[in-house]
Amino acid sequence: MQSRFSWSALSLSRPSQRARSAWSAGAAGVLVLALSRCLAPPAPQAASPATVAPTVPPVPPVPPVPPVPQAPAITPAPASVPGRMKIALVESWLWADGEYRSPSANVDYSSLFARLSAHRAAAAGRPEATTCELEVDARPDPELFRGVLGLVQAMGYENVELIIGERRFVLHIDERRSDGEKGVAPRARRTALLLRQGGVTAWFGDEVVPGAGAGAAPAPERVLTASWTDSDGDLAARVAQLCARREHCAHVVVYLDAELPSGQLARVLEPLQRATRAGVGAPPSVVSLGGGHPPDVGEENRAFIGWSDGSGRLPPEVIRSIVRASYGTFRACYERGLATDPRLTGRVTVRFVIGTDGKVTNAADGGSDMPKEEVTTCVVDVFRGLRFPAPVGGIVTVQYPIMFQPG
C-alpha cells in the first residue's frame, strides 16, 4: 500500500529593524548610543522551514509460526500375530505400519484405505488377513476413531480385535446381508445395542430386507435401558440379565456414538464378553460392530433394516476427503453466480453412483435449493469427473450436500 504523506504549510514573516537614536555630539552621545546598542534586543531571524514526518501506518506484528505437531513418544506394540494389520490411535495420531501418520485433522483416508486394501490382497487366504487389531487410548479422537472403524468394516475384515488399555475384545464385522463370496445369510433375529451419549439401550427384533413390502417394517422390542451414571456393577448386572435369555445375545450388533469415550465402550463390552461365552454344547455368540452411528431416538427400527444385495462399501471418510479436494472447482461454479447476485446463497445436493471401478457412473441433482440453476448444473458436472477407490462388494450410491454462501 502506498503511504500517504501529510504536509503542514508553514507561514513565515520578517519583522523590520527598529531605528535607533541619532548620533549625539560629544562623548556622552557616543556612550549613550553604544549602551543602547548593547542593551537592544537582537534582531529576529527568519525561521527555517520545519520538516514534517510522513504518516506511516504501523507495521502489523508478525504472527507466531505455529509449532510443528510432534508425534507421541509412545510406540505401540506390533500386532500380536505376525502379518496381521495393526492400527493404533494415540493422542489423536494414527499409527500404522510401524510409524505415525498425521494428526486426526490431516489423515489421508484414501491412502489408508489403499493400504488396507493392499494388506488384504497380500494376505489373501491366510488367517491374518481376516482380523485387524485396533488399539485406542482412553479418549481417542472421535472422528478418527469412527473413520478408522468405517475403513476396517468397508475393507471386508471379518474381525476387529479392539485393545483398550490392558483389555482385549474380539468383535466381528456385521455383514447384515448375503455375501456371494462367503455364502453367509443374514441372521434372522438379533439385538441392536445402542451406545449413545445419554446411556445404553438394547432392542431385539427381526432383520428386514429392503423392498420386502410395507407390511414387513421392523418392530423391535426394547430389552435393556441403562445410564452411564450407573455403577460398573449395576451395568454388568443389567447386561447379564439381558443375556439370561440366550436368543437376546446370540447375535449382538453394537452401534457406537462417535463422541463416546472408549472407556464407556469397554464398560459395556467387558460384561457382554463374559455373558456371551458359550457354554458346553451351546452355539457361539457373535458380537458385531454395526456401520454408522446409532439411529436417532424413536427410529431404532432402522438398525434392523438389512443391506440390499449388490450394495458396495466405501467409507464416508474416503468419499468426503475426495470431494473436499475439489472444493476449489465447486467454488468457481458458485462465483459465476455471485457475479450477477452478490448475496447468492443456497445448497447444492448431488446424488451420484460410484461404480465398481471407482468411476462416477451417474450424477444428478438430488434436491438442491440453489436459486441459480447454472450453479447446480456446474457442480453436478464436476461430480461426474471425480474418481474414487473401487468400492468393496458392489456399487455405492451417495447423496452429498454442499452449502454455498458469500464470504
Give pLDDT tens digits for 289-306. Answer: 776 678 889 889 888 876
129 and 273 share one domain: yes
Q: Is the predicted pLDDT of residue 354 greater than 90, yes or no?
A: yes
- What would the mean pLDDT of 116-125 be, rounded to a whole number? 87
Q: Which of 278, 304, 330 is the last residue of a domain?
A: 304
Grouping H, G, I as helix, E, B as strand and the rest as coil, residue 240 is helix
222 and 246 share one domain: yes
250 and 204 share one domain: yes
Query: For 147-187, what is each residue's pLDDT tens digit?
Result: 888 888 778 788 889 998 888 888 887 654 444 444 444 45
Q: Is the predicted pLDDT of residue 343 greater than 80, yes or no?
A: yes
pLDDT at 179: 42
Query: For 251-288, what is each residue's pLDDT tens digit?
Result: 898 988 877 888 888 999 999 988 887 554 456 678 88
- Confirm whether pTM is higher than 0.85: no
Asked if residue 343 belongs to a domain, the reply is yes
More confident residue, 189 or 384: 384
389 and 249 share one domain: no
Confidence of residue 53 (pLDDT cuts 50, 70, 90): low
Q: Long-range contacts: 89-93, Cβ < 8 Å, 24+?
A: 89/134, 89/135, 89/136, 89/137, 89/140, 89/141, 89/144, 89/145, 89/148, 90/137, 91/137, 92/140, 92/141, 92/144
Confidence of residue 371 (pLDDT cuts 50, 70, 90): very high
Q: Average model confidence (pLDDT) for the chain?
A: 79
DSSP string, 228-239: TTS-HHHHHHHH
In this structure, what are the phi and psi dihedrals at residue 121, rounded to the nearest 5 degrees?
-70, -40
Asked if residue 144 belongs to a domain, the reply is yes
Please answer whether residues 204 and 219 qualify as being in contact, where contact means their C-beta atoms are separated by less than 8 angstroms.
no
pLDDT at 22: 44
pLDDT at 290: 76
363 and 384 share one domain: yes
At a CB cut-off of 8 Å and minimum separation 6, what does 30 contact?
Answer: 23, 24
- What would the mean pLDDT of 394-401 be, rounded to a whole number? 90
Query: For 197-217, what is each residue's pLDDT tens digit?
Result: 889 999 999 887 665 555 567
364 and 329 share one domain: yes
Q: Helix axis angle, 316-324 relative to 109-122, nearest 10°?
A: 130
238 and 172 share one domain: yes
Residue 352: give the domain boundaries: 316-404
Q: Which of 246, 276, 304 is the last residue of a domain?
A: 304
197 and 345 share one domain: no
Asked if residue 368 belongs to a domain, the reply is yes
pLDDT at 52: 57
Asked if residue 311 belongs to a domain, the reply is no
Count of domains for the chain:
2
Q: Which of 348, 353, 351 is nearest to 331 (CA)?
A: 348
For 236, the grid coordinates are 454388568
DSSP string, 21-33: PPPPSHHHHHHHH
Q: Which of 334, 336, 339, 350 is nearest to 386 (CA)?
A: 350
Task: Give the least confident one: 90-104, 139-153, 256-270, 351-365.
Answer: 139-153
pLDDT at 387: 92
pLDDT at 180: 40
Asked if residue 339 belongs to a domain, the reply is yes
In this structure, what are the phi and psi dihedrals at residue 170, rounded to the nearest 5 degrees?
-95, 120
pLDDT at 181: 43
More confident residue, 285 or 118: 118
Q: Is the predicted pLDDT of residue 364 greater than 80, yes or no?
A: yes
294 and 339 share one domain: no
Asked if residue 358 belongs to a domain, the reply is yes
330 and 256 share one domain: no
Q: Which of 304, 334, 357 is the last residue of a domain?
A: 304
288 and 374 share one domain: no
At a CB cut-off of 8 Å and minimum separation 6, what does 273 contact?
Answer: 169, 287
Query: For 12-48, what is each residue's pLDDT tens digit?
Result: 344 444 444 443 444 444 433 343 444 445 555 555 5
Q: Is the predicted pLDDT of residue 228 greater than 80, yes or no?
A: yes
Q: Measure the CA–CA gap between 181 and 206, rounded to whole angstroms.
A: 24
287 and 347 share one domain: no
CB 328: neighbour CB atoms within 10 A?
Answer: 8
Q: What is the CA radius of gyration of the chain?
A: 38
Asked if residue 364 belongs to a domain, the reply is yes
Asked if residue 242 belongs to a domain, the reply is yes
Q: Is the predicted pLDDT of residue 63 greater than 60, yes or no?
A: yes
